[in-house]
């Protein structure tokens, strides 16, 4: 059980075994805790020693204790794959992949082999239980191996004998009781924990909405609540304070002393006290301005934010220091004017990226890129020779064009709302039956929408090929030719943010107006049709169908009917098989929606968030319970989707 502890104004996380709370005499029984009954026979046959050897092999590779030439990375012995979730058998020297079913094939062909370890996740799989299992003894072996290899790496990098050896610490029974008596254990099963309003500091609803989407982002929440952020700016801040105080002391001394130049005492002219104070203030302000960016850390601000939100307090929280840090990071947001939530989202992510160890390289492992980072593949095809060139572009959000409404209001800068309700009654209960049709899209008698005003239609337009205005140089033709460009998702992020471009600048008068078109968006969305892999498969299918049609024309007319029937049955079976084999790793689920209501100059931002499988509306300091029906009928501006199936590769 992971609990947040508060003692002597220190907030942190402590991992506590809940079994110890009952009786300290149960330690011997707890050492044998296991969720699998088949592992006992494995231990009796020397399985603990084999597991220890496998763990040393895994951590030696992951922590780069040895070079890959000396210790090769495991791969599937059946198909040679390195990526298909490699499992290492705990009974023999065998490794095979999960994705193609080769590890199950190994278990079926070898009687008595039923345990394997996932190389990436380091979890034990039991073939008899058909599930991943937990064993406390094996967990302790894993921790001891990791600790020993960590110490060995420290000895290699820093062989000094004066360095204190690292030792793991586990609370004893007395220490555990002391922690329990002096800590406030927060019950995270309480639905109120994690729900806390944010006070508006003056047109800061744009910031509050984005912060609420951060708070209820599972990856960001787990990262900062687990104390994963290690700030390196505190040392710079301490050094700055030390130098700043010394400079002030030196200024005070020099103001009342004589100058010494070339060994001659020169009497200093008296300076007016007001002029001296003004000069000191200017110097201090300049030094503060120059060191503001070195002092602030948006990663630490996120730490403070999550600590306050999950503290259990019910009163609204005032994120004044977060706003101040954003002002220092980006002067664009300085002031109390209404700002764009999407621009603040991008700016704050850049700040968190730079303050949490982010790099400018392609393989950045900061929390921002691990959460929102993806890759788009851009393919340019020559219309003359069909030669295709491709490039990959990284992204952290997707901006989608939306269709305009039929009528635009002249003068207020906003478009009329597209959906019209057929029933004048606004009661949610009367409309609940029209809520979902399988994919979470409102349908039935509740609302009528224009064709193409859906998120899926926007994605379809985003990934459709478009003809380039200017001719593109084709390397195959060695000249400029007419060409098309098509985008597809090469690498999908864990959390994908769809930005519906509701604010558009007019080309004639350069005024920005709002597109108030209603866009349907689903609860769950399958991104498979928009991926690069799916595009290639569809292209191969079309080529195969063309060849089959050519073969049909060569057959006799007597066999045409039979062939058509057989082909229809085979096509139907292939479609059913493709649906069954749909990659579940490309399915996303909605967890937050940021909305903008009103006009551009006098609008307001709110946010819908999903918390404990329930939906809530965050309106600055007010948080109220709502229904999924209200979420889906809102005119979303930023849509946040989370992968339903997560795979950890690092």
Chain segment 67-85, per-residue pLDDT in tens: 767 788 899 999 988 888 9
Range name among 267-271, 392-396, 539-543 with the lowest pLDDT average:
267-271
pLDDT in tens, 366-412: 999 999 999 999 999 898 888 888 899 999 999 999 887 654 343 34
Instruction: Output the pLDDT for position 409.
Output: 40
pLDDT at 32 over 60: no
Instruction: Output the pLDDT for position 49.
Output: 92
Instruction: Output the pLDDT for position 427.
Output: 40
Listed in sequence order, the residues at least 6 apart from 540 whose beta carbon sits closer than 8 Å to its beta carbon are none
Dihedrals phi, psi of 88, to nearest 5 degrees: -105, 125
- What does the pLDDT average to over 424-429? 38
Say if 586 falls within a structural domain. no
Task: State which H helix or E strand residue 4 sits in.
Answer: strand 2-7
Per-residue pLDDT band for 200 (boundaries 50, 70, 90) equals very high
Listed in sequence order, the residues at least 6 apart from 597 whose beta carbon sits closer than 8 Å to its beta carbon are 603, 604, 606, 635
Residue 205: active-site member: yes
- What does the pLDDT average to over 97-105? 91
> Which of 432, 434, 429 lies closest to 444, judged by CA?
434
Q: How far apart are CA 420 and CA 293, in angstroms?
A: 49
Say if 250 falls within a structural domain. no
Say if 412 falls within a structural domain. no
> Which of 91, 85, 86 lies closest to 39, judged by CA?
91
pLDDT in tens, 143-162: 888 888 887 777 776 666 65
Active-site annotation holder among 38, 127, 450, 604: 604
Say if 569 falls within a structural domain. no
Instruction: Output the pLDDT for position 411.
Output: 38
Instruction: Output the pLDDT for position 413.
Output: 39
Instruction: Output the pLDDT for position 302.
Output: 94
> Which of 132, 119, 133, 56 lies closest to 89, judged by CA?
119
Angle at 59 between CA 56 and CA 64, to 5 degrees: 120
Which is higher by pLDDT, 513 or 51?
51
Q: What percent of the chain has pLDDT over 90?
A: 35
Say if 98 falls within a structural domain. yes
What is the residue-wise DSSP string for 579-611?
HHT--GGGEEEEEEEEEEES-STT-EEEEEEEE
pLDDT at 579 over 90: no
Count CB neighbours of 294 within 10 A: 13
Which is higher by pLDDT, 499 or 439?
499
pLDDT at 448 over 60: no
Say if 76 falls within a structural domain. yes
How many domains does the chain divide into? 1
Query: Please, is 372 exposed, middle or buried when counting C-beta atoms within 10 Å of its C-beta (0-12, 13-18, 19+)?
Result: buried
Instruction: Output the pLDDT for position 295.
Output: 74
Range name among 34-48, 61-75, 590-604 with the lowest pLDDT average:
61-75
pLDDT at 34 over 90: no
Inter-helix orientation angle 320-329/273-295, to 10°: 90
Say if 534 falls within a structural domain. no
Task: Specify the 3-state DSSP secondary structure of 514.
Answer: strand
From residue 299, give the alpha-carbon distance in Å to each of 286, 379, 456, 531, 537.
Answer: 25, 37, 34, 32, 42
Query: How far, in whole angstroms, is CA 103 from its chain's centroid?
Result: 30
Which is higher by pLDDT, 9 or 88?
88
Task: State which H helix or E strand residue 573 sits in.
Answer: helix 560-580
Say if 80 falls within a structural domain. yes
Residue 126: active-site member: no
Per-residue pLDDT band for 163 (boundaries 50, 70, 90) equals low
Find the domain containing 130 and state its range: 37-157
Listed in sequence order, the residues at least 6 apart from 303 whose beta carbon sits closer than 8 Å to its beta carbon are 224, 227, 229
Q: How far apart are CA 551 and CA 568, in angstroms?
A: 15
- What does the pLDDT average to over 485-500? 93
Which is higher by pLDDT, 536 or 104?
104
Q: How far apart are CA 310 and CA 342, in angstroms?
A: 25
From residue 69, give the alpha-carbon distance in Å to each of 56, 118, 120, 650.
Answer: 17, 22, 20, 20
Range name among 57-71, 72-86, 295-309 with the lowest pLDDT average:
57-71
pLDDT at 573 over 60: no
Length of the chain measured in residues: 650
Angle at 485 between CA 479 and CA 486, to 5 degrees: 150
Q: What is the mean pLDDT of the chain?
A: 76
What is the CATH classification number for the domain harbouring 117? 3.30.40.10
Count CB neighbours of 10 within 10 A: 7
Instruction: Output the pLDDT for position 26.
Output: 42
Task: State which H helix or E strand residue 67 sits in.
Answer: none
- What does the pLDDT average to over 167-195? 79
pLDDT at 282 over 60: no
Q: How far apart are CA 73 and CA 89, in angstroms?
A: 15
Task: Specify the 3-state DSSP secondary structure of 430.
Answer: helix
From residue 386, give the alpha-carbon distance in Å to each of 66, 344, 380, 462, 482.
Answer: 47, 42, 9, 21, 10
Active-site annotation holder among 205, 300, 382, 607: 205
Inter-helix orientation angle 320-329/341-355, to 10°: 80
- What does the pLDDT average to over 255-263? 36
Residue 562 near residue 613 (C-beta atoms within 8 A):
no
Instruction: Output the pLDDT for position 352.
Output: 93
- What does the pLDDT average to over 245-267? 39
Instruction: Output the pLDDT for position 534.
Output: 85
- What does the pLDDT average to over 56-68? 82
- What does the pLDDT average to over 271-294? 47
Instruction: Output the pLDDT for position 5.
Output: 38
Angle at 490 between CA 484 and CA 494, to 5 degrees: 140
């Amino acid at each position: 059980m992971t609990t947040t502890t508060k003692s002597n104004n220190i907030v942190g996380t402590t991992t506590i075994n809940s079994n110890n709370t009952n009786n300290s005499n149960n330690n011997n029984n707890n050492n044998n805790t296991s969720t699998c009954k088949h592992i006992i026979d494995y231990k009796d046959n020397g399985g603990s020693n084999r597991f220890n050897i496998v763990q040393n092999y895994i951590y030696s590779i992951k922590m780069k204790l040895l070079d890959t030439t000396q210790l090769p990375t495991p791969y599937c012995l059946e198909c040679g794959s390195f990526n298909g979730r490699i499992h290492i058998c705990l009974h023999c020297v065998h490794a095979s992949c999960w994705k193609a079913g080769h590890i199950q094939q190994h278990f079926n062909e070898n009687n008595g082999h039923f345990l394997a370890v996932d190389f990436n996740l380091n979890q034990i799989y039991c073939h008899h239980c058909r599930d991943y299992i937990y064993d406390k003894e094996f967990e302790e072996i894993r921790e001891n191996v990791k600790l020993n290899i960590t110490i060995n790496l420290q000895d290699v990098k820093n062989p000094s004998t004066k360095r204190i050896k690292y030792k793991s610490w586990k609370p004893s029974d007395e220490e555990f009781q002391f922690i329990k008596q002096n800590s406030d254990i927060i019950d995270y099963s309480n639905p109120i924990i994690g729900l806390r309003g944010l006070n508006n500091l003056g047109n800061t609803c744009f910031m509050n909405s984005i912060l609420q989407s951060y708070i209820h982002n599972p990856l960001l929440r787990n990262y900062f609540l687990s104390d994963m952020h290690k700030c390196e700016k505190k040392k710079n801040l301490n050094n700055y304070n030390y130098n700043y105080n010394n400079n002030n002391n030196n200024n005070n001394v020099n103001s009342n002393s004589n100058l010494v130049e070339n060994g001659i005492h020169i009497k200093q002219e008296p300076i007016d006290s007001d002029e001296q104070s003004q000069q000191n203030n200017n110097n201090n302000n300049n030094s503060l301005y120059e060191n503001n960016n070195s002092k602030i850390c948006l990663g630490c601000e996120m730490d403070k934010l999550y600590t306050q939100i999950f503290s259990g307090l019910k009163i609204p929280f005032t994120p004044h220091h977060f706003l101040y840090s954003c002002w220092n990071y980006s002067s664009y947001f300085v002031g109390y004017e209404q700002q764009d939530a999407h621009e603040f989202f991008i700016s704050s992510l850049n700040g968190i990226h730079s303050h949490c160890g982010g790099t400018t390289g392609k393989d950045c492992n900061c929390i921002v890129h691990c959460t929102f980072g993806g890759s788009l593949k851009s393919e340019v095809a020559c219309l003359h020779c069909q030669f295709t060139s491709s490039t990959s572009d990284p992204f952290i959000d997707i901006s989608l064009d939306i269709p305009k409404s039929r009528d635009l209001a002249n003068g207020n800068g906003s478009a009329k709302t597209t959906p019209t309700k057929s029933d004048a009654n606004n009661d949610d209960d009367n409309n609940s039956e029209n809520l979902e049709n399988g994919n979470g899209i409102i349908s039935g008698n509740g609302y009528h929408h224009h064709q193409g005003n859906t998120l899926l239609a926007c994605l379809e337009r985003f990934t459709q090929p478009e003809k380039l205005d200017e001719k593109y140089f084709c390397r195959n033709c060695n000249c400029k030719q007419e060409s098309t460009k098509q985008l597809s998702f090469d690498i999908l992020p864990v959390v994908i943010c769809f930005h519906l471009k509701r604010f558009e600048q007019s080309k004639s008068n350069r005024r920005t107006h709002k597109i108030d078109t209603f866009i349907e968006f689903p609860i769950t969305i399958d991104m498979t049709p928009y991926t690069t892999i799916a595009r290639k498969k569809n292209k191969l299918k079309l080529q195969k169908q063309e060849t089959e049609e050519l073969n049909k024309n060569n057959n006799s007319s007597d066999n045409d009917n039979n062939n058509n029937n057989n082909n229809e049955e085979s096509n139907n079976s292939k479609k059913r098989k493709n649906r069954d084999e749909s990659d579940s790793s490309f399915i996303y689920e909605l967890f937050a929606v940021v909305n903008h209501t009103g006009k551009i100059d006098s609008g307001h931002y709110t946010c819908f968030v999903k918390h404990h499988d329930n939906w809530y509306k965050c309106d600055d300091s007010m948080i109220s319970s709502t229904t999924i029906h209200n979420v889906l009928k809102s005119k979303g501006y930023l849509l946040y989707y989370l992968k339903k199936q997560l795979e950890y590769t690092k």
